[in-house]
Each structure stands twice: as C-alpha cells, then as structure tokens.
Structure 1
C-alpha cells in the first residue's frame, strides 16, 4: 500500500479544527470551522476520487475519536465510505475501538506503518491527524501529500509542518482549483531538499 496524507490547510498553514468550532479545541483553539464557507461540489467530487483509492485509513487517536462521534451518524456518501474502511489507530491510550472495523497500533507506530505499506492494495490514507502526520513525516514514510489550501488566514492553531521538520523536496503531480477558491496540490517526495546560491549578476 502507498501511504498518503490528505489534509485541509489555511494559507498560514493551520490544519486544526477545519470542520467546526468544537471539532478540536486543543490548546484553547477557538477558531475552528474555517473550512466550512468553502465547501462545494468540486470538493465532493475530489474527495470521492480520493476515497476510491483507499484500502484503509490510518488515524491518530484524537482524529479517530472525533470522527467516531460524527461519521456513523451521517447519511452522506463520504460517510458511508469512511464507515466501511478499516481504520488503523495510532494510540498510547485507547484500549478498545467502538467505531470499526479498526485495529489499534500501540507500539512503534513507524515500524507498524512500514509493515502495513508492504501489504498489497490501494492507499493507506491519513486524513488530518496532525501529530501523527508530523511523526510519520519525520520518518520519511509518506508516498504522497494532498494539500487542500483554503483562501483564509486563521492566525492561530496547530500547523502541519514542524519548524524542525525534515527538509524534503516535492514534485507537483496534480493541481486544481475549486469554484470556491480552494487550491488542491498533490505532491510526491523526491528526497532531501536541494539548495543553491542565487547569482544576482545574471
């Protein structure tokens, strides 16, 4: 399986609580719901295409609990796909899973994910799950990034990329813009970032 990340970002890189003011208030975050004004049919079509590629989901504990309280109650077609897919949950605290089918990854998550990637099938998809995503990025495990950037500056909240993250080169393999102004870029890592010196004489 390929490991992919799909996440919503503000222009200033915030990924926390895009769907609701109460979705994720960790750290006193009070600006949730910033994605909602930009939802449109273009995004629905894109997300259907993304989920058609999914073999399973890989979620952090917080995202799993948020989604477990939401998607089973929804009648939206996307909800049906999320509910059906197997979920792998990276956690040190959960002992059981109420939203299945699900498997807990309790120890050495990067090693467990690397082993899952060796299995045949479609994509092992991470959606949101910022802490988990940053941890997996630090181990060079992602095969592709789908970054959905909305035309809004949130000004507070958890961001996707660490200040001390790995310097990574990316190749843009897909680009589109939704009618509501969301920019969707899909990247594949190309290894460590390259550097040079700007020659201002030319």
Structure 2
C-alpha cells in the first residue's frame, strides 16, 4: 500500500496523484519481484475498473518498455478475485467475482496450494481484510510528503513485526511487516 508520511493512502476524494512523481525504475523492479512471488490478486471494484483496461492495453502496446510488458503479462495472466457488490460480470482475463463472503473467500484461497496473494490498491477491501485479521504481511510504501487530509490506511491499533526496510533514491521507504 502506498501511503503518505501522515498515514493517508488516498486524498479525501480518492486522489492518488501525489505518489506519481516519486515512482522510479528501482521501485518498479521491487514491485515486479513481489508480483513474481504471487499468483493471485485481490482487487476491489474501483481498482478493477482502473486496472483492467490499463493492463489489457499495455499487454499489446508495442511501444511500451520491456519491463511494462513483463508486468502486464503477469497482471493479465494471474488469477484475479474481484470483490464488488455492484458488478455483475468481469471481463479481464483470469478474473472472477468473489461469490462468497470475504472471510470465506480469503480462507479458501489461503488453503489452496499456490504462491502469495497480493492486494493492489483497493482501500475498502484492505480495510475489511485488516478488520477480519486476514492480512499476514504488510508492504507499506511511505512517500516523503504529507497531505492535508485523506483516507487513512489504519484506523485501529495493530501490532506488527518489522523484517525489512528499503530506502529508495526518490525518498520513498518500503517497510515490510509481518503480523506479530
């Protein structure tokens, strides 16, 4: 999850533009490695509506850099479980709507043989997962800026054990935690 120094994952209206100026190739390499260690993505409706058309288009974008094409291949190839109360169908390759309540869906996925399960964006979904104690690991990208107000990632006490920190040239810090 991308957050500001003061703990917001998005602006008050869901704005995410604050993190774009900091993104660089070094960070892209780390996130590509993380995605390579996974095989399933959990996505909320709003994130699905943004990501699906973008990554489908990137897969066939002949002018896209090789690293973008590689990332697009993984994003399109992996299983994607979409959590939405309003969508009736999804069209992204290897995507499906979650049919069970969130806790049952996640527990079923966790019990299946496979690689890591990742959540991208999807703030409401992440908050539900936190509330239900279904998150095993947090990878928090802290950006060197504060915004006046926004949507907080954490709204209650949560104990974590740090296991890795990476500082990027852009000033972004990646903090990796397991639940203690």
TM score, norm. by length of structure 1: 0.80
Match of 1:56 in 2: 40
2:147 is the alignment partner of 1:154: yes
Match of 1:198 in 2: none
3-state SS of 1:9 partner? strand
TM score, norm. by length of structure 2: 0.89
**Superposition CA RMSD, Å:** 1.5
C-alpha deviations, 1:84-123, integer Å up to 9, x for none?
Answer: 1110011111111111211111431111111110011111
3-state SS of 2:106 partner? helix
C-alpha deviations, 1:16-54, integer Å up to 9, x for none?
Answer: 27xxxxxxxxx645x531111111121011111101111
User: How many residues are treated as equivalent by the alignment?
Assistant: 171
3-state SS of 1:15 partner? strand
Distance (Å, rounded) in 2 between the aligned partners of 1:115 and 1:122: 14
Offset at 1:154?
A: 1.9
Offset at 1:69?
A: 2.5
Match of 2:123 in 1: 130
Structure 2: gaps spanning 5 or more residues: 59-63
Offset at 1:61?
A: 1.1
3-state SS of 2:104 partner? helix
- Extract structure 1 runs of 4+ deviating beyond 2 A: none
Match of 2:10 in 1: 16
Aligned pairs for 1:90-169 (under 5 A) are 90-162=83-155, 165=156, 167-169=157-159
Structure 1: gaps spanning 5 or more residues: 1-6, 18-26, 191-202
Larger radius of gyration: 1
Compare the two structures and name the one with the higher helix fraction. 2
Q: Please identify, of 54-63 and 64-73, the stretch whose mean Cα deviation from structure 2 is larger.
A: 64-73
C-alpha deviations, 1:43-78, integer Å up to 9, x for none?
Answer: 011111101111110111111111113221224132
2:17 is the alignment partner of 1:33: yes
